[in-house]
Structure 1
Amino acid sequence: MRSVRARAALGATVVVALALTAAGLAVLLVLRANLTDQAGLQAEVVAREVAGQLALDVPYDKLETGDEEDHPVQVTDEDGRVVAVSKDLDAISGTGTGHVTPQPPPAPSASGGGDGGGEDGGGDRHGGEDRDDDDAAASADPGRGEVSTDDPGFTNGTATVDGDRADYRFASVEATNSAGLTLTVHAGAPLAAEQRAVASVRGAMLAGLPVVLLVVAGVTWLVTRRALRPVEGIRREMAAITASEDLSRRVPEPGSRDEIARLARTTNETLTALEASVDRQRRFVADASHELRSPIASLRTQLEVGAAHPELLDVTGAVADTVRLQALAADLLLLARLDAGERPGKARLDLGALVREEVSQRTGDRIPVTVSAAESGGLEVTGSRGQLARVIGNLLDNAERHAERSVAVLVRGERGGVVVAVTDDGAGVPEAERERIFERFVRLDDARTRDDGGAGLGLAIARDVAVRHGGRLAVTGAAEGGARFELWLPGAR
């Protein structure tokens, strides 16, 4: 399943199915519990009605049990013997005993009162009269029995009434008659309504669940398809750009402000940066080829002339062209390493000492260089000694090329870093051109000869090295009227 739409639809369907299943089970459990509680309440009412009759010493065969089919009743004594059941009760389970036939109570023990009557029988009559009085007194005060006020016990079971077997909820209530005999009334209420309701709800849920899932899957599919339609447009345009290699084309940007619109804008920004990088690379290759062509052609001409006429060989010019080729090749190699992401070294060095060392090694300068830097402390930076020496050398070469009478270098600590300022008294750099001079192969003085003007890579290399060391390089106007190049590098930690 490689389609995002299919995965989204499947995922949404599974989540909704799980949620609906959990909700449906919860609804069924709550419904079943409520209906079961209602059946238990009905059974308790019937059980307490029968228990009240027992507490009033109503004979077992005279008990009113209500609707025997809906509310089967079983009465047991303290020993678990069945003493009364409702009419037409054929079988029962879940009440502790399955007997449905009333059992007679145990016979009372015999007493020896046969000879106590006397001959005249007066005692019998007197005694009979006393017993009649006692029975009359007992019947006149029937309220000595009681019904238990404790919560009834509830069980589930079955009962067969008049041949029909069904499930019931049984409530058990205890009652004590006037003779002190504790009886337990088991009364049932049918669970058929609960079962029908649960089955009906369950059937409705099972029938509606597939429909709901189909609707969820379809809606998710359509919504995802509509949402991903711009992505497909972006993909097609990117495939066309890749096939045509035309980096000037751009992907369509939807009018929405969502993530896909931001993706399209970011893609177009990436294409713009890529197009600029490719154009810069092409110009670099073209400029490098052009710069290499002149010294190579000059050197070849001199060598061909020297081969034909040794006395006319310009050895000095050949050496100069060779040195220029060597310097240009070194610059191109350094730029290639910088473009490849070469990280600067981690050496700790004193920038003031490095400037003085570079100035002392310059023997061919036409204008002396003045250096102002602290002898020690506060001028340390971290980086590549060779690359930073190349930056200082390039700045000095540029100043020597444009200065008229003086070149000065100032090294000082500033804002958590070290500043190297190279100043000349030349014509300066026009404000509109102060950023362009840091581009590769850019030379502002078109009238300058190639030998004097260089290839236009020195300042570009200097800025690239400065940026990769966490610093910056900028040009401003000098007080003397020339140019002031300021290199700032973070101090060593």
Structure 2
Amino acid sequence: MRSVRARAAIGATLVVAVALVAAGLAVLLVLRDNLIGQADLQAEVAAREVAGQLALDTRFEDLDLDDAEDHPVQVTDEEGRVVFVSQGLQAVSGTRSPGVSPVPSASVGATASPDDDDDDDDDGDDGRRPARGEVSSDDPDLSDGTATVDGKHADYRFAAVEATTSAGITLTVHAGAPLAPEQEAVDTVRGAMLTGLPVLLAVVAGVTWLVTRRALRPVEGIRREMAAITASEDLARRVPEPDSRDEIAALARTTNETLTVLEASVERQRRFVADASHELRSPIASLRTQLEVAEAHPELLDLPGAVADTVRLQVLAADLLLLARLDAGERPGTARLEVGALVREEVSQRAADRIPVTVEVTEGAAYEVNGSRGQVARVVGNLLDNAQRHAEGLVAVSVAADGRGVRVEVRDDGAGVPQDERERIFERFVRLDDARSRDDGGAGLGLAIARDVAARHGGTLTVHRAPEGGAAFRLWLPRAA
């Protein structure tokens, strides 16, 4: 099932179905409990009414049982024998005894059917009647059962109440209340739920399908546009952004931002390849020309020039390789470096520089950072190379603490960098002095490499105006933990 709309509709329908089924079961259980409670109350009232009459020594044949069809009655003695049943009761279950045929009982005969002629004999010596019986005040025993009354079989709820006659005989009255109304009500509610549930689920599924379709319509537009961009390879195109402020609008904006970054990256890669090809073509063409001349006229071979072109090719290839590794996300090392010692060592290896380099490092101070020694040394070397090309008579490098990091500053007294060019000079293959020869100016990769290395080490590289009037390049690196 690959459709989001279908999954959403089915999921919503299942959730609603589970909720409705649970709610329906709860309603049916509560309704059934309430109706059974009413049946229990009716059975108890009927049982206590009959028990009250027996406690008043009412004879069985004189018991008031007007609703015997709805409330069948069975009376048992202390030994569980049936001594009385209501009229029309043909079968019963769920009571103390399943019998429906009364049997004579000597213990209740005198009480149940007293002779009118013996009334005087029952008086005491002082002419008073014996004390009357009583009905048990305990909660009645309740049970489920069945009864057949006048040929009609049905389920009943029976209540058992004990009654004690004036003669001390204990009788148990079982009176039933029909469960047919409860069953009919539960069946009616259940039928209504079973009929309405599919209709309601169909409505939920349909509404969810339509709402999801409407909500996902912008996503389909985004998908179509992305497919068109993929087919055309035109990264200048953008996906439509809906007017809503929901997640889909955020997705469209993020997609367009990603396309913008991707377009810039691809364009930068194209320029990089074009510039690299251009930069490589010149020394390769020069070297080839020298070799061809040397082949034809060995005495005209410019060996120093060939070596210089070869070195230039080697340096350019190394720069391109380093940029490729940086673009691939190569992480710097975690070695602990002492920046002051590294700067002194780098300067000491530049004895052949056109202008001597002045080093300003506080003696005894420790300026430690974490990173790749070779890459940090490469940054310092590139900055010194840049200063040597533009300085008139001064090149200075200083190392100092700067907040939570270490600052390396390389200054010169040259023409400096115009304010509006201070970011562009860090782009690859950018040279501000177009008239400068490539041999003297390099390929324009040194500052780009320096900034990328600084960023990989968690630092920054910026350019400012030096006090001497030239450029001041400031490399900031975080201190070692």
- TM-aligned CA deviation for residue 140 of structure 1: 5.7
Contact map agreement 1:335 1:461 (CA 8 A) in 2: yes
Matches within 5 A, 1:66-465: 66-106=66-106, 132=120, 134-135=122-123, 141=129, 144-465=132-453
- TM-aligned CA deviation for residue 132 of structure 1: 3.3
Matches within 5 A, 1:1-80: 1-80=1-80
Q: Which has the larger radius of gyration?
A: 1
SS of the aligned residue for 2:166 comes to coil
Deviations 1:23-82 (A, max 9, x none): 111111111111111111111111111111101000112111221110100111111111
Distance across 2 between alignment mates of 1:215 and 1:480: 81
Contact map agreement 1:473 1:485 (CA 8 A) in 2: yes
SS of the aligned residue for 2:106 comes to coil
Distance across 2 between alignment mates of 1:318 and 1:145: 136
Tell me the residue number matched to 1:118: none
Amino acid of the structure 2 residue aligned with 1:300: R
* Alpha-carbon distance change, 489 to 138 in structure 1, aligned in 2, over 3 angstroms: farther
Distance across 2 between alignment mates of 1:350 and 1:107: 116
Deviations 1:150-207 (A, max 9, x none): 1111111011111111111111111111000111110111111001000111111111
Distance across 2 between alignment mates of 1:130 and 1:296: 147
Contact map agreement 1:352 1:375 (CA 8 A) in 2: no
Deviations 1:411-436 (A, max 9, x none): 11221211100000000001110000
* Alpha-carbon distance change, 130 to 209 in structure 1, aligned in 2, over 3 angstroms: closer
Distance across 2 between alignment mates of 1:255 and 1:16: 31
Which one is further off, 261-270 or 411-420?
A: 411-420
Q: What is the Cα-based RMSD across aligned positions, in Å? A: 1.7
Tell me the residue number matched to 1:477: 465
Amino acid of the structure 2 residue aligned with 1:258: D
Tell me the residue number matched to 2:112: none
- TM-aligned CA deviation for residue 314 of structure 1: 1.7
For this pair of structures, how many residues does the alignment match?
473
Amino acid of the structure 1 residue aligned with 2:9: A
* Alpha-carbon distance change, 139 to 55 in structure 1, aligned in 2, over 3 angstroms: farther
Unaligned runs of 5+ in 1: 109-128
Distance across 2 between alignment mates of 1:131 and 1:260: 98
Distance across 1 between alignment mates of 2:412 and 2:464: 11
- TM-aligned CA deviation for residue 300 of structure 1: 1.5
SS of the aligned residue for 1:345 comes to coil
* Alpha-carbon distance change, 137 to 199 in structure 1, aligned in 2, over 3 angstroms: farther
Contact map agreement 1:55 1:143 (CA 8 A) in 2: no
Distance across 2 between alignment mates of 1:333 and 1:259: 41
Detail structure 1 runs of 4+ shifted over 3 Å in the superposition. 129-143
Tell me the residue number matched to 1:119: none
* Alpha-carbon distance change, 322 to 51 in structure 1, aligned in 2, over 3 angstroms: same
* Alpha-carbon distance change, 401 to 343 in structure 1, aligned in 2, over 3 angstroms: same
* Alpha-carbon distance change, 190 to 134 in structure 1, aligned in 2, over 3 angstroms: closer
Amino acid of the structure 1 residue aligned with 2:158: F
* Alpha-carbon distance change, 142 to 3 in structure 1, aligned in 2, over 3 angstroms: farther
* Alpha-carbon distance change, 290 to 137 in structure 1, aligned in 2, over 3 angstroms: farther
Contact map agreement 2:124 2:130 (CA 8 A) in 1: no
- TM-aligned CA deviation for residue 382 of structure 1: 1.1
SS of the aligned residue for 1:173 comes to strand
Distance across 2 between alignment mates of 1:180 and 1:267: 95
- TM-aligned CA deviation for residue 137 of structure 1: 7.6
Tell me the residue number matched to 2:111: none
* Alpha-carbon distance change, 443 to 130 in structure 1, aligned in 2, over 3 angstroms: closer
Contact map agreement 1:56 1:143 (CA 8 A) in 2: no
Contact map agreement 1:93 1:157 (CA 8 A) in 2: yes
Distance across 2 between alignment mates of 1:396 and 1:324: 18
Distance across 2 between alignment mates of 1:372 and 1:243: 58
Unaligned runs of 5+ in 2: 109-116
Distance across 2 between alignment mates of 1:394 and 1:431: 21
Contact map agreement 1:145 1:177 (CA 8 A) in 2: yes
Contact map agreement 2:367 2:479 (CA 8 A) in 1: yes
Contact map agreement 2:123 2:129 (CA 8 A) in 1: no
- TM-aligned CA deviation for residue 245 of structure 1: 0.6
- TM-aligned CA deviation for residue 310 of structure 1: 2.1
Q: Percent identity?
A: 77
Amino acid of the structure 1 residue aligned with 2:178: P
TM-score (norm 1): 0.93
Amino acid of the structure 2 residue aligned with 1:439: E
Contact map agreement 1:57 1:142 (CA 8 A) in 2: no
Distance across 2 between alignment mates of 1:136 and 1:222: 91
Tell me the residue number matched to 1:122: none
Contact map agreement 1:61 1:84 (CA 8 A) in 2: no
